[in-house]
A = this chain, B = another copy of it.
């Protein structure tokens, strides 16, 4: 019978938790940034959100889409689409027998790519800055998937 204590290298799993928390904090901050831009640009989507600006037409003019608000919302959605898969794959990867240094390299590059992606999207930096930032995080995730596939084959053969 396989012993879980042999499977889980606590150092690697703690590194995973540390980077997962940093990524989640980064992703959750997008909510606050969205709220900040909505108030700064006075661009809301729900009638009840503009009630404090007065009644009738006076409040209705704040029910509008703003390019900056939409930009922040796209970053948030892009985070959800990319960080959620990383959190699952990164966890499986952390218990796949990988060494601490290799795991840290993957986690660090991914975190860096997502932070740079957000900066490139917010400023915005000229393309292909944002595209490359996204691509690096995407490839790091697939590199971990590749390792998992190799490991599983080993388990089947071994």
**With A3-B5, A25-B145, A51-B127 in contact, do A81 and B80 touch (Cβ < 8 Å)?**
yes
A21-B92, A89-B24 known; A84+B81 contact, CB < 8 A: no
Q: Closest Cβ of chain B: how far from A116's Cβ, in Å?
A: 15
Contact A88 B87 (CB under 8 A): yes
Given known contacts A20-B88, A84-B84, A14 and B152 CB-to-CB distance under 8 angstroms: yes
Q: How large is the interface on A (under 10, 10 to 19, 20 to 34, 35 or more residues)?
A: 35 or more
Q: A20-B88, A76-B81, A80-B81 are in contact. Are A124 and B46 (CB under 8 A)?
A: yes
Give A contacts to B, CB under 8 Å: 1-5, 7-8, 10, 14, 17-18, 20-21, 24-25, 27-28, 30-31, 45-49, 51-52, 71, 74, 76-77, 80-82, 84-85, 87-89, 92, 121, 124-127, 130, 134, 138, 141-142, 145, 148-149, 152, 155
